[in-house]
């Protein structure tokens, strides 16, 4: 059982982050935010796949002006991602559910004060997002792009907000590799009680990003570190959510379907991969805890799939459906998968 680090609870729209709140999964649109139609299209795609929160980039005035319309139709809480420009931060803060902005980089205390005033009035949080690749020069010169520099940067930004009595904060410390990411989060964790947004930045395409994120988040979540997360995958949207949810599910931090498929061996009697893929597709939106097994022969499968709530054992020309180790049906190959999926629905 993972014991989560006790963090302060904040809220992004109706989604709680930190404390005893479930670990949320978020993503970011890659449309130009001023393209309201496409941005909403991407937000809806994320919503339907199960995202909890979405972030949009605000690069200019047109993007900021589009937020009102986007917010009106979005089924998900919106975080505006702003770099350096406090005027955009102010505009966005009037509309959205959270900001990602680094207060030290927006041009002085007065500007931070203005943003904090709006965030306080609207009760919206600020995420301090430290990236190893864009650290303040003084820190990079002193420590390099190291976890130490990342943590120092986060503490400096945090203090700017705390000095203004603002504590509605979450923090991310992203590097593009697993080790620095883990070290930075571990180093900061005992020093503050703000919730952490986990991420590995520039993680790469699906294969690499999945491995990097699973390794980094796995280590951190097992330590009880992490309150919300984003898996960054180049050019993917829905996959970011699916991978994030899968990491949580495999650590027992979120309920859902766990599909076991046999590794295959010389005893295999069917072409198993297309069957597994069909099962995966058919159950991908089920959020209930369910262990399904898809096995490639009928002889050994009964024993090997004993732990599953429901298993399918595919033999030559026919197959078995097994419920918690007991055979409940024997069907011809052509009807086996449908019968299995029908049974999944009943349980």
Q: In the window 275-314, what residues touch ligand SF4 (CB under 6 A)?
A: 295-297, 300-301, 304
User: Is residue 315 involved in binding ligand SF4 (CB under 6 A)?
Assistant: no
Which of residues 265, 326, 334, 345 is near ligand SF4 by CB under 6 A?
265
Q: Between residues 220 and 314, which has the closer beta carbon with respect to ligand SF4?
A: 314
Q: Between residues 57 and 302, which has the closer beta carbon with respect to ligand SF4?
A: 302
Tokens at 327, concatenated: 């055979």
User: Is residue 267 involved in binding ligand SF4 (CB under 6 A)?
Assistant: yes
The H-assigned helical ranges of the chain are: 36-49, 61-73, 86-93, 109-122, 137-143, 147-162, 178-188, 206-222, 238-250, 272-283, 301-304, 333-346
The CB density around residue 45, as the number of other CB atoms within 10 Å, is 16
User: Is residue 336 involved in binding ligand SF4 (CB under 6 A)?
Assistant: no
Specify the long-range contacts of residues 37-42, CB closer than 8 Å, at least 24 apart. Answer: 39/66, 39/70, 40/70, 40/73, 40/74, 42/237
User: Is residue 261 involved in binding ligand SF4 (CB under 6 A)?
Assistant: no
Least separation, in Å, of the C-beta of 260 and ligand SF4?
A: 10
Least separation, in Å, of the C-beta of 311 and ligand SF4?
A: 10
Which of residues 187, 219, 268, 282 is near ligand SF4 by CB under 6 A?
268
Q: Between residues 191 and 299, which has the closer beta carbon with respect to ligand SF4?
A: 299
Least separation, in Å, of the C-beta of 306 and ligand SF4?
A: 12
Tokens at 85, concatenated: 């420009």
Tokens at 87, concatenated: 């005027």
Stretch that binds ligand SF4, among 33-41, 70-78, 95-103, 259-267 (CB under 6 A): 259-267
User: Is residue 263 involved in binding ligand SF4 (CB under 6 A)?
Assistant: yes
Cα separation of 118 and 96, whole Å? 11
Secondary structure, 3-state, 93-147: HCCCCEEECCHHHCCCHHHHHHHHHHHHHHCCCEEEEEEHHHCCHHHHHHHCCCH
Tell me which DSSP letter residue 322 carries. E
Least separation, in Å, of the C-beta of 277 and ligand SF4?
A: 16
Name the residues that contact ligand SF4, by CB under 6 A: 262-265, 267-268, 295-297, 300-301, 304
């Amino acid at each position: 059982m993972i014991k989560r680090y006790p963090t302060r609870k904040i809220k992004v729209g109706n989604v709680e982050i930190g404390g005893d709140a479930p670990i949320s999964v978020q993503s970011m649109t890659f449309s130009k935010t001023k393209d309201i139609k496409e941005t909403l299209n991407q937000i809806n795609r994320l919503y339907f796949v199960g995202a909890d929160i979405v972030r949009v980039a605000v690069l200019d005035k047109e993007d900021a002006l589009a937020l009102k319309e986007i917010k009106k139709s979005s089924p998900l809480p919106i975080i505006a991602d702003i770099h350096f420009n406090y005027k955009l931060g102010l505009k966005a803060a009037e509309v959205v559910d959270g900001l990602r902005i680094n207060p030290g980089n927006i041009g002085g205390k007065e500007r931070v004060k203005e943003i904090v005033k709006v965030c306080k009035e609207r009760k919206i949080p600020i995420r301090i997002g430290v990236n190893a690749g864009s650290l303040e020069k003084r820190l990079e010169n002193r420590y390099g792009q190291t976890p130490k520099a990342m943590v120092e940067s986060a503490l400096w930004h945090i203090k700017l907000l705390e000095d203004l009595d603002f504590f509605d904060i979450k923090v991310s410390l992203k590097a593009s590799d697993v080790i620095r990411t883990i070290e930075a989060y571990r180093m900061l964790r005992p020093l503050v009680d703000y919730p952490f947004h986990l991420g590995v930045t520039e993680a790469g395409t699906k294969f690499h990003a999945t491995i990097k994120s699973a390794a980094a988040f796995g280590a951190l979540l097992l330590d009880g570190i992490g309150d919300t997360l984003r898996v960054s995958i180049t050019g993917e949207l829905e996959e970011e959510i699916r991978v994030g949810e899968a990491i949580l599910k495999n650590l027992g931090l979120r309920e859902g379907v766990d599909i076991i498929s046999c590794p295959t061996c010389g005893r295999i009697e069917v072409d198993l991969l297309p069957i597994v893929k069909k099962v995966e597709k058919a159950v991908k939106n089920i959020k209930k805890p369910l262990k399904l097994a898809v096995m490639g022969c009928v002889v050994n499968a009964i024993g090997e799939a004993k732990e599953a709530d429901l298993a399918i054992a595919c033999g030559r020309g026919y197959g078995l459906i097994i419920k918690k180790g007991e055979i409940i049906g024997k069907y011809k190959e052509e009807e086996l998968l449908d019968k299995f999926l029908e049974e999944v629905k009943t349980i």
